[in-house]
Every structure is written in structure tokens, then in C-alpha cells.
Amino acid sequence: MDDATSWKPWEAFHPDGVIIFSDILTPLPAFGVPFDIEEVRGPVIGSPIRSEEALKSLHSIDLGKLHFVGDSLRILRQEVEGRATLLGFVGAPWTIATYVVEGGTTRTYTVIKSMCHTAPHVLRALLSHIAQAIAEYAIFQVESGAHCIQIFDSWGGQLPPDMWERWSKPYIQQIVDVVREKCPGTPLVLYINGNGGLLERMTETGVDVIGLDWTVDMADGRKRLGSGVGVQGNVDPAYLFSPLPALTEEIQRVVKCAGPKGHILNLGHGVLVGTPEEAVAHFFDVARSLTYDSFLQDHAVEKATLVA
């Protein structure tokens, strides 16, 4: 696009919701876990926390060190005020802990999974500390302008369901409880990558919306979750590389399967690198057409909400 501001998703597509992408590791240095980003390895934590002694390096979160996140939210809130919902962005304690314990990115999670059995007291203390810090960080984002908060347990799906119940769910609930007390009425969304075996357990955290990845059938997910919680998703991001008619059909299918209310139309994960911009534009065009045309009457679908 030629317009100088078109690189911004908000300017290019004007979705119903916008999120400021602040990586889930952003708050780590603010509570005692410095890290570096290496070109090949990604995030690297030089001093992983795996012992009682290492826990001593942790401290209460210093929100002053995260002022840039608050500043960005305030600016964006002013820009979209009255035209879109502004979403905050935080990582769930288990997911953050995988980096803190493993020392960076991992494909096996063997060190932290082993800690569940070899040093459970250390891991519980770490998770609880992270949960408190992230809860305060979420409140900070709300006070800086976020209308709602999305919690990403990106690696929660790497746990067997019974392990997720013990090692992730309680700490997500800790965040939910603290945010509910300080910011009543703020909607909370929970997303887990690979959450097909966890849906019923996810509702027990008390969040308002469950994000579905594309491996869960929307109709099945809605049936399992019931009507008491909203759903978000879950078009496969790879569909944006398909012919546009195929993308149209998939969007229509997902919206139909989601039912008449409580659905935030979105991808089942983030936009993939290299996604054609015209496909993203088509996604929004089709979604908006479902808001206003006869598809609503044909399938008893209310307004589809768009998030990017």
C-alpha cells in the first residue's frame, strides 16, 4: 500500500479490536530475570532459576521499568477511542516459567517438567511469584488504557491435562482473581496453543472468553464449552495462503459453527510470516459482510467481532 501509515494494521484494516504486541517475556527484567535476544537462539536467560538459591534473585515487579508499555497503550487508546477495543497482552505463569527454567526456548520442556517431581517447592514458588507479577502487570495495562486482557499460555498445551491442572491452572486463576478484584468488569481472554484436551478445564479459571486454535473444530469446541463463556477464533492461518474463495468458505463455516452469539472471529493463531496482505484484507471484508448481509438471517448469526 502506498499510504505511509498503512503498515499499521489499525490503519490498513480498521478491525474491531487491536492489540499492542509486547512479547510475553517483556516484564521479566522488571522482576529480576534479565535476558538477551540472540539472532539464532532467540531469548536467552543467562541464569535460569532452578533452585531455592536462584529464587533469591526475584523481587516484586517494578512497573516503572515498563513505562514504555503504558505509554504505548495510552497513545493507542487515544488513537482508537470509540472505534475499537484495545487489548492488553500477558503470558501465563507456566509459559513464562518454561523460559525462566529452561534458559530460553525449548522443544522438549524436559528440565521444567522434571522439576515438577524433583523440586516441586521451587517450581511452585517460582510460578506463584510470576503469577503475582503478571497480575500486577495486567492491572497496569488496564490502568494504562487496555479495555481487556488476553492471557497466553502458549506452552500449556505441552502438559498432559492432569499436569496442566496442577501446574498451570492454579496460577492462571491467581491472575484472574487479582485482576477481578482490582479491575472488576475487565474481560479476560485465555488462549492455549494445543488446547483441545483442556477446554473444559480452561473454563474453570474464570475467564470470560476461551481462544481456540485451529486444531479444534469450532462446533465441537462450542458444544464442549457451553454457552456460559465466549469463544475466540479459529480460522487456520494457513487459509490466508489459499485461494480467496476457499478463505471465504472457511470464515463462513467457522462463524456458522460458533453459533448466534458470544463469538470473536479471529485466526486460530497469529498471522504467519509472508501472509499476503490482500488475504488479510479479504478476511476483514468477508467478516464485515457477515455483519450486515443476509448470511445473518440465513444462519441466525449476530455481529461478528473482528480482532487483529
pLDDT 10s digits, 127-163: 999 999 999 999 999 999 999 999 999 999 999 999 9
Q: How many helices (H) and strands (E) does the chain have?
A: 13, 10
Alpha helices by DSSP H, listed for the chain, are 9-13, 52-55, 67-80, 93-102, 110-118, 120-143, 161-167, 169-182, 199-203, 218-225, 244-258, 277-292, 295-299
- 122 and 244 within one domain: no
- 148 and 188 within one domain: yes
Domain assignment present for 7: no
pLDDT recorded at residue 10: 86
pLDDT recorded at residue 23: 87
pLDDT recorded at residue 297: 52
Domain assignment present for 220: no
Domain assignment present for 229: no
Per residue in 168-202, pLDDT (tens digit) is: 999 999 999 999 999 999 999 999 999 999 999 99
Is the pLDDT confidence value at 305 over 80? no
Domain assignment present for 219: no
- 110 and 44 within one domain: yes
Mean pLDDT of 30-49: 93
- 239 and 205 within one domain: no
Coil/strand/helix, residue 233: strand
81 pLDDT tier (thresholds 50, 70, 90): very high
Domain assignment present for 280: yes
- 207 and 110 within one domain: yes
- 180 and 120 within one domain: yes
- 240 and 193 within one domain: no
9 pLDDT tier (thresholds 50, 70, 90): confident
- 152 and 250 within one domain: no
Mean pLDDT of 86-102: 97
- 280 and 164 within one domain: no
Domain assignment present for 100: yes
CA–CA dist 279, 254 (Å, integer): 17
The more confident residue out of 277 and 304 is: 277
Coil/strand/helix, residue 68: helix
Cross-strand pairs, 44: 36, 104
pLDDT recorded at residue 291: 62
Domain assignment present for 275: yes
11 pLDDT tier (thresholds 50, 70, 90): confident
Is the pLDDT confidence value at 212 over 80? yes
- 240 and 207 within one domain: no
Whole-prediction pTM value?
Answer: 0.91
Domain assignment present for 8: no
- 264 and 193 within one domain: no
Per residue in 216-266, pLDDT (tens digit) is: 999 999 999 998 999 999 999 999 999 999 999 999 999 999 988 899 999
- 165 and 36 within one domain: yes
Total domain count for the chain?
A: 2
Among the residue ranges 37-41, 66-70, 257-261, 297-301, the one predicted with the least confidence is 297-301
150's enclosing H/E stretch is strand 148-153
Task: Kindly report the CATH number assigned to the domain that includes residue 26.
Answer: 3.20.20.210
Mean pLDDT of 51-72: 97
% residues pLDDT > 90 (the chain): 84
Bridge-based pairing state of the strands 263-267 and 305-306 = parallel
Structural domain containing residue 290: 235-308
**Phi and psi torsions of 303, nearest 5°:** -50, 130
Sign for the pseudo-dihedral over CA of 35, 36, 37, 38: negative
